[in-house]
Amino acid sequence: MKLIKFFISITSILSIVACSSSVVKVGPDGSHWRLQSFLDDGLQETVKVYNYCYKGKQSSFVPARDFEKGSHSVVAHVIKQFHSVDSKPLDAFATLDGRFESGKTYVFQNAIEDNKAKVWIANAETGEAVTSKEMVKLTVPDVVDNKQYQNRRCSASTL
């Protein structure tokens, strides 16, 4: 019984020490920059804007990723999904070019009106656009979305 209590107390102490000594990373390190995705999950619709390509391949929605500094082309995927049974999601792709500095955080921004979306990337602290604002038309996604289409979209990305 004493042995069990001893092991429980040692395990408890080690887990407390391990949790208190771990470093929490809240921003990009000095050699990288962070790109945050956009998510607006409203009552009637959800809007997502995220980096579609990662290491040359299609990527799903990820809240944020870190990348090496420099000039990059980012393939943005805009999705507008309605929360009603009879509606279909709308999407579009835009290639955004910009120069990104290490240690900074950037975020996708958008302005959607009807079936048109304006998409850009801005500095998260200042709100200043670091890419041009691209206007794209939101349409029902292609029925055929195979590796060829995905690779063609990702060929413009440098991330």
pLDDT digits (tens, 9 = 90+) for 129-153: 999 999 999 999 877 667 777 778 8
Q: What is the distance, to the nearest Å, from the Cα of residue 42 to the centroid of all Cα atoms in its chain?
A: 18
- CA 110, 61, 57, 123 dihedral sign is positive
For residue 17, pLDDT beyond 90 = no
Give the model's pLDDT for residue 149.
72
Query: Which whole number is the average pLDDT over 80-102?
Result: 92
Rounded CA separation 40/79 (Å): 11
Q: Specify the range with the lowest mean pLDDT, choosing from 11-25, 46-60, 67-81, 108-122.
A: 11-25
Give the model's pLDDT for residue 43.
87
For residue 19, pLDDT beyond 70 = no
Beta-strand ranges (E) seen in 52-115 are 53-54, 57-58, 64-68, 70-82, 90-100, 105-113
Q: Confirm whether pTM is higher than 0.85.
A: no
Name the percent of the chain lying above pLDDT 90.
59
Query: Which whole number is the average pLDDT over 14-38?
Result: 66
Give the model's pLDDT for residue 22.
42
